[in-house]
Amino acid sequence: MKNKVNVAFQVLPRSTKKGTYELVDIAIKVIQESGIKYRVCPFETVLEGNYDEIMSLIKKVQEVLYENGTETMLANVKIQSAAYRDVTIEDKMEKYD
């Protein structure tokens, strides 16, 4: 896929030693440091960019969460792509900003 995609990524980490929100904050920090365009929403974070880079980031988020005390996690991923154009966050959100 050569065009930009949007990926909605929700991670639900669980740990007996750390709170879920503490772990989610770690996930968001990894996303912020990635350089990939993103928007944090109440239930998920939307990522915009190259498909392979986003999938690598999702893998990294999961690895970092396990390194930081996550014992189990659920990860939900939704992908929007188009054959002949970029998919952008603004396409969906501009009328609400």
pLDDT tens digits along 1-55 = 789 999 999 999 999 999 999 999 999 999 999 999 999 999 999 999 999 999 9
Question: Residues 42, 89: contact at Cβ < 8 Å?
Answer: no
Domain 5-93 fold is Alpha-Beta Plaits (3.30.70)
What are the residue boundaries of the structural domains of the chain, listed by start? 5-93
Question: Residues 76, 9: contact at Cβ < 8 Å?
Answer: yes
Task: Name the β-bridge partners of 74.
Answer: 12
Look up the pTM and report it: 0.93
State whether residue 51 is helix, strand or coil: helix
Rounded Cα distance, 78 and 74, in Å: 13
